[in-house]
Every structure is written in structure tokens, then in C-alpha cells.
Amino acid sequence: MESKPVLRGNVLMTVNPMGLKQEIQNQIDYVKSQGHYEGPKKVLVLGASSSYGLATRITTAFGAGADTIGVSYDKGPRSEKNLGTPGWYNNVFFRQAAEKEGLVAKNFVGDAFSQALKDDVVHYIKEEFGGKVDLVVYSLATGRRTDPETGETYHSAIKSIGQEVVGPNINLQKEELYEEVLEPASEEEIEATVKVMGGEDWYGWIKLLKEADVLAEGVQTVIYSYLGSDLNRSYYQDGTLGRAKADCDEKAEWINQELEYLGGKAQVVVATAVTTKASAVIPFFPIYCIALYKVMAERGTHETPIMHQDRIYRDMVYGNQAAYDDKGRLRPDLWELDPEVQAQTEALIKEITPDNFKTDLTAYDLLWHEFLNLNGFDVDGDDAQEAVSLDDLKALEA
């Protein structure tokens, strides 16, 4: 059975399961190449099946030797035309690799916003995971959320606030540069985006875990954010996404009060720009990325999600190289925000045209390679395809 990449706009619709298996191994190999570090031992990752959440799980497991619980909403294979989601296979192959090394790797596949799943996770921690967790990572990325208390469903909107934004973007399906117009959000859309992508559910999870007495002394909890620079401020930091990220800052203060009795700590980690399924559909962001990646790759500072997360946990959260801003946020994004990097990125963006954006002028090829990797395509080391059938895939257990 052969799978090929099929796109709809900037969304990959197909998946290559054995490519994903190789990609998981590549990330594990990277972490092992950096050596062991002293870190957490019992980890809960909410949103664990791709990008930052998956990378966090890999670095804590194979770098620090942690047992992990992963929560995600994914679907397995149904037919040759519907092989499921990449995250489902990531969960499977991560668990297989972790268990080979004697690590616990429990996957919960379901709605992380629902009370039923939250209760299941708490029960598992108490009964089968040693009773306590010492790191809780919130990395959920979704476009909708149903509030378990009210039953109301909210839908996020990636829009500007108070102004129309016009600029170039890339259609990856057509490999074309086009002009995009981003309309300003309504107050209802702003509020809904904060409800979905802000810190409310993070705070709810921590309160639940605290009340269930499953948080260890000195527990740490992390949520991922992004601020960017003046080059993307109009559609990111000053838009609905930025408003949601500001809510995470507020909720971090609330959580720190909740964890004070344990000597615990909540951190907002302001991550750097990397290739994810989410970043591919943020308006104008691919243009910023192909310029930024070119500049940072030439400086030797460009990172994939696993490189970035391994540095965050190895060197910063559990190391001695942490850098904080005046709001107490951890700032591993400082390589991206280096003034010289930003100046070179801005100059390069001004040179990009519909005729040259795929040339060596930019890092378009790098973005495309990393984008395909997310669904198991164009993976390094996956030259000899392992023959699998639909029945083989259905027999896998997440």
C-alpha cells in the first residue's frame, strides 16, 4: 500500500504511516545524541501527538528517562483512502519505542476538554502511574472547544483586531504566492478564540489535578506561547491569537498561586517559529518562515520542534541556561528575535516575489520538507518503504 501527499490548501490530507515511524525514530535518535539530562520522571502531556507536545514527550522520555501520559484527539485507520491522523500513528510508534526501553507510555485518545477523559486520566495516575506527576505540559492546539461546565462550544478565529491586514501568503497546494486579506475579528470572535486557545482549560486541568492530590512536590507545568516580532505583530500578537496568548499569561499567575503550597511553578514558554500543521495555516506566516528559516539556517540556529523542545527542557527548564522576560515568561525564542536576524529577515521578505519565492533566495525547500515530515512524507532514512497492509495498520494499538 502506497500513500502520496495530497494537499487541500495548506493542509495535508494524507498520511504515510511508516514514514511517521521513521520520523519518530529520527527524533529519538536526536535526543539520545545529546545525552542524558536530569529532568522529570512522571510527565502528563496534554496535546501529545504532534509538534511541540510530541517533541516534549520524546525529550523527557528519551533524554530524562521519564514515564509519560499523552492525551490527544486522533483517529486510526478506517480504509485505504482514510488511514487516520498522523497523531494516531505518532502515539503508537512512540509507545512502542518507549516500552522497548522499559518506560511507561500511556495514551489517552479522546476529547481533552471533557470531564470524562479528565477523570479517566486522574484515575490512571492514582492507580497505575505511581500516584503523582511532576510535570504537566499543556500543548493542545484545536479550533474548537466545548466548555464541560456550560456545554457551550466555541470556535476560534485567526484574525486581526481593529484593522484589515493585507499581505503575501503561500498556497502550498498550488505552490503559488498570492495576496491575502485578513478581516478584523468581531468581539464575539475574540472572546471565542480566547476560550479555545487561551489558558482557561490549562487552569482547569491543574485545579482538577490539585484537588485529586496527584501533583508531586515541586511540580512544574508549562504552556507554549508565541509572540513573534514587529514583522508579524499585526496578525499575531495584536490579533486574536495574541489575545489568547495574553490570557495564558494571566492564567499562569493564577496557577502559581494554586501551586504555591507544593513549591510548584507554572511557566509560559515563548517558543520560536517552527513548522507545524498550525503554523502552516496562520495567515502570512509561511512567508515569514521561509525568510526567517533562511537567515537562521545560515547562522546555524534554525530548529525543528524536537531540537527546540530538547533545548528548552535540557538547557532551560531543567538546566541552568534559562532566560526570562519581565513578565516571568521563559524565552527560548531569543535566537529568532535577535535584532540582526530580524533585520535580515525583513530585508529578505522585501525581496520575495511570485517568481523567486521557491528559489535559493529563501528557505522554501526547507519549509516544504519539514511540512511533509509532519505526515510522514519525505522523511530522512525512509528510503526503503516497509510493506504494510491496511489490516497491519488496523492491528496497531494506540
In the numeric block, the cell 538547557 is attached to 315
Q: Is 154 a catalytic residue?
A: no
**What 3-state class would DSSP assign to 228?**
coil
Provide the CB-side half-sphere exposure for 26 (13 A, CA). Answer: 20
Cα distances (angstroms) measured from residue 198 to each of 22, 38, 76, 262: 33, 30, 28, 24
Whether residue 89 contacts residue 21, with contact meaning beta carbons closer than 8 Å, is answered with yes
Distance CA 356, CA 241 (A): 30
Distance CA 346, CA 93 (A): 40
In the numeric block, the cell 526501553 is attached to 101
Which value, to the nearest 10 degrees, does the dihedral of the CA atoms of residues 193, 242, 366, 63 take?
A: -90
Distance CA 172, CA 394 (A): 30
Q: Name the pairing type of β-strands 67-72 and 42-46.
A: parallel
**Please, where are the H alpha helices in the chain?**
17-33, 51-64, 86-100, 115-128, 187-197, 200-211, 240-259, 277-280, 285-299, 305-311, 334-337, 339-351, 364-373, 390-394
Whether residue 370 contacts residue 275, with contact meaning beta carbons closer than 8 Å, is answered with yes
For CA atoms 228, 47, 51, 84, give the dihedral sign: negative
Distance CA 136, CA 206 (A): 8
Entry field: residues in the chain: 398
Angle at 140 (CA atoms; ends 3, 285), nearest 5 degrees: 70
Distance CA 134, CA 41 (A): 7
Q: Of 138, 154, 236, 313, which residue is the catalytic one?
A: 236
Known catalytic residues are: 236
